[in-house]
Structure 1
Amino acid sequence: MTLSAKPGLPASTLYLWRQRTLYLGRIERLSSHSQGAHTLLFGLDDVIPLTVEGQTLSARSYLIPAGALFSAESLGKRIACCFLDPLGKDLLFHAPTMTAEKCGVYRDSIREVDQLAMLRTLHDGATEAAEAYARLRGLVFPGDNEPVAGFEPDARIAQVVELIRADPADNLSNEALAEQVGLSGDRLQRLFKQTTGIPIRRYRLWHRLFVTSSMMAMGSTLTDAALAAGFSDSSHLTHVFKSMLGMSPSAVLRRSRQVRILVGGDH
């Protein structure tokens, strides 16, 4: 589903895939927040000043682990913000190709020139979700069957992720989830955070943001989408949105001819 842009104006685009999400467009400022996914952040037009743990960096590309508290200034210029897979394969795909900082983030991808060129092409074009995903594979996302050094998926954590995705409005307890994968509640909590970078409850909220966005792309109102995704009301959604994305829902998901929301499966 696509929301059309005004003729003559480049649209901001939000791609929603099953395991990954990509925003291309203009956002003035990302206030201090802690995202629920490992994140790639690019300045499509210029460097982005990013502040994390009191340290300010300046670069065109960043890799920010889930749970890191940071703020960024885009100064009204175009950015690409890509939320990566929850099991850590994408994080391990990118980390060795970037410079590690003491504050825990990475910067200056060795693939930066090609990544920026592709992301600008997607921003300026009318690329549908499936084609965009295919173009990013191997460049921004690892190939489907591409081995990544150090990545050993934990089938139990993958199963818990699928259980949360199967019914995002269901508040299954940690103990109930742990029982289904043969772990104690405490052991599941430790493994889940070790794998994804965030606690189970925060991942559930993060996925609810994805569900809300997808439903709005299909025509639901903000309130209806929030309730269906498991938020108590639209105020709850707004609070979570700001704490995890550093902006209000209306900044990205407003029903506007200047924003395109495209939904497609990934593999």
Structure 2
Amino acid sequence: MEKLIVRRYRGDFVAWAGVCGFIGEGGDGASISPHSHYAIQLAIGAPSGLRVQLGRNGKWQSCAAALVPSRATHTIDVNGCNMSVVLFIEPETPTGRALAARLQGRPELLDAATVEIAAKNLDRAWRVEKSYDAVKAVCMQLVQEISRTEPREPSDPRVLAAVEYLRQRVGEAVTLPEVAKVANLSPGRFRHLFVEETGMPLKTYILWRRLLHVWTLLMRGETLSAAAHAAGFADSAHLSRTSRNMFGLAPSTLQMTGPLSAQARGLENHLGCTTGPVKA
């Protein structure tokens, strides 16, 4: 693969129910080895410059954006992009199932017209507005349009109570009977209802929230080791293995130094607390 001398990666993390990802610029001139992971991936390069390799020895192809199904071997090169966005979509959510049905296990290259407006809006939201909520809103709309699904959040009060319970204990070990008790349901009935409402089994949901919590803490300036322990991982090595399986990369690969991270750290310094604009 051609080696490019480019700017060091500077980016931020965004997340919402069942989807998370990174927006940034640069790429350190480094290539990522071909890999596969659990999440469905949407990669965008703006205004151009994205390259993807499908398969372990596939030909490099230039495109505006690419959809990669779960467990498909691939790699991407964003060194030539002025801005890149890489989103990871949980396969068991309604959005993930819709995209899986569309892809049928085959990656899909998207034309520029599909993502052109969203890319411009993302660039403005990230560089000019420097707004986490604005970046998230554009990403959500784009994923909705591509998957042809409506945004869906849990609405059953029993599941909402369980979700809040898990949110407050993101770094602790919890069991299915324990969470089912919070919802006043039997473990079997709760398991079924939770999947119905969230699109994910409880175990997958807990793991997903832990990984999101790690990236949120990294945006706030925590060390990798401290973030791993706070999110319930044994150590940073355990976190890295889990992240590679879920997203194809370790948290140490991308340093959170973009405008959204700067705002999160600045707000915490100002308030002297651990809250910030990042919602994971």
Same fold (TM over 0.5): yes
Q: Does the 8 A contact of 1:100 with 1:106 survive in 2?
A: no
Q: Does the 8 A contact of 2:224 with 2:252 survive in 1?
A: no
Q: Which amino acid aligns with 2:221?
A: G
Question: Cα gap change, 1:202/1:137 in structure 2, threshold over 3 Å: closer, same or farther?
Answer: closer
Kindly tell me the number of residue pairs found equivalent between the two proteins.
246
2:261 — aligned with what?
261
Secondary structure of 1:247's aligned partner? coil
* TM-score, length basis structure 1: 0.68
Secondary structure of 1:243's aligned partner? helix
1:165 — aligned with what?
167
The 5 Å alignment of 1:1-267 reads 9=7, 11-17=9-15, 19=17, 21-25=20-24, 26=27, 28-29=31-32, 31-35=35-39, 39-44=41-46, 45-51=49-55, 60-62=64-66, 68-77=70-79, 78=81, 79-83=84-88, 88=93, 100-103=102-105, 108=110, 111-121=114-124, 127-136=130-139, 138-140=141-143, 153-155=154-156, 156-193=158-195, 196-253=198-255, 261=261, 263=264, 264-265=277-278
Q: Which has the higher strand share?
A: 1
Q: Does the 8 A contact of 1:32 with 1:246 survive in 2?
A: yes
The separation in 2 between residues aligned to 1:198 and 1:152, in whole angstroms, is: 12
Question: Cα gap change, 1:251/1:266 in structure 2, threshold over 3 Å: closer, same or farther?
Answer: closer
Shift of 1:81: 1.4
Question: Cα gap change, 1:252/1:60 in structure 2, threshold over 3 Å: closer, same or farther?
Answer: same
Question: Cα gap change, 1:23/1:191 in structure 2, threshold over 3 Å: closer, same or farther?
Answer: same
Shift of 1:126: 6.9
Question: Cα gap change, 1:150/1:73 in structure 2, threshold over 3 Å: closer, same or farther?
Answer: closer
Shift of 1:173: 0.6
The separation in 1 between residues aligned to 2:16 and 2:151, in whole angstroms, is: 23
Between the aligned residues of both structures, percent identity stands at 21
Question: Cα gap change, 1:104/1:64 in structure 2, threshold over 3 Å: closer, same or farther?
Answer: same
The separation in 2 between residues aligned to 1:42 and 1:202, in whole angstroms, is: 26
Shift of 1:41: 2.9
Q: Which amino acid aligns with 1:241?
A: S
Shift of 1:191: 4.4
Q: Does the 8 A contact of 1:160 with 1:181 survive in 2?
A: yes
Q: RMSD in angstroms over aligned alpha carbons? A: 4.4
Output one character per residue of 1:197-249: Cα deviation in whole Å (capped at 9) or x when no partner.
54322321221122122222223221112111111122211211211121122
Question: Cα gap change, 1:100/1:90 in structure 2, threshold over 3 Å: closer, same or farther?
Answer: closer
Higher relative contact order (CA 8 A, sep 6+): 1
Question: Cα gap change, 1:107/1:14 in structure 2, threshold over 3 Å: closer, same or farther?
Answer: same
Question: Cα gap change, 1:204/1:137 in structure 2, threshold over 3 Å: closer, same or farther?
Answer: closer
Unaligned runs of 5+ in 2: 1-5, 265-276
Question: Cα gap change, 1:132/1:258 in structure 2, threshold over 3 Å: closer, same or farther?
Answer: closer
* TM-score, length basis structure 2: 0.65
The separation in 1 between residues aligned to 2:67 and 2:193, in whole angstroms, is: 22
Unaligned runs of 5+ in 1: 1-7, 143-147
Secondary structure of 2:254's aligned partner? helix
Secondary structure of 1:41's aligned partner? strand
Of 38-47 and 209-218, more deviation after overlay is shown by: 38-47
Q: Does the 8 A contact of 2:214 with 2:228 survive in 1?
A: yes
